[in-house]
Amino acid sequence: MSDTTTGSTTWLTQDAYDRLKAEYEHLAGEGRTELAKRIEQAREEGDLKENAGYHAAKEEQGKQELRIRQLRHLLETAQVGEAPASASGEVSLGHVVTVELAGDEVKFLLGSREVGDAAGLDVYSEKSPLGAAILGRKPGDEVQYTAPNGKVFPVKVVSTEPYTG
């Protein structure tokens, strides 16, 4: 499932779009109804100050509403189809990238973690330290990136190709 973001457009495969839309419809429909029933049942148990079930359900409701807003925004900005391929052979969003990292060869999809990948590839965001270091690079380019733990690692771009799903 490829997902890339270009400006304010998010590119999604049809499968990814359908999956996210189904999640949105469930959460915004029967998911809201189920949670409202749980809140009402907990409210009927009495004193709200000491009602752990009520507070847990209200917290879950807040998280669910946030997820609904995130999904709605993602679906509203989605472009269904394949992301435009980089004609220059550069690492770009929606590409499967192979790099040499600290002596190991690592292959991953550069894109949004929101969608994930059914093919079993790890997904790195373009905003992650590694993603930001290689974005726009070409095979053969060598760069360094600083890992979240503060260590600096050499990275060599081995190959990049558009993700075809």
Is the model's pLDDT at 28 over the cut of 50?
yes
Residue 35 DSSP class: H
C-alpha 90/C-alpha 159 separation (Å) is: 9
Those residues whose C-beta lies under 8 Å from the C-beta of residue 60, and which sit 6 or more positions away, are 35
Instruction: Give the pLDDT of residue 117.
Output: 54
Q: Give the C-alpha separation, 42 to 59, whole Å.
A: 13
pLDDT of residue 3: 46
Compute the CA torsion angle 129, 135, 140, 145 (nearest 10 deg).
-20
Once rounded to an integer, what is the mean pLDDT over residues 137-163?
91
Give the helix/strand (H/E) hosting 158. strand 152-162
Residue 151 host element (H or E): none
Which domains are present in the chain? 3-80 (1.10.287.180), 95-162 (3.10.50.30)
Per-residue pLDDT tens over the stretch 88-135:
688 887 788 999 998 899 998 887 666 555 557 788 888 889 999 999
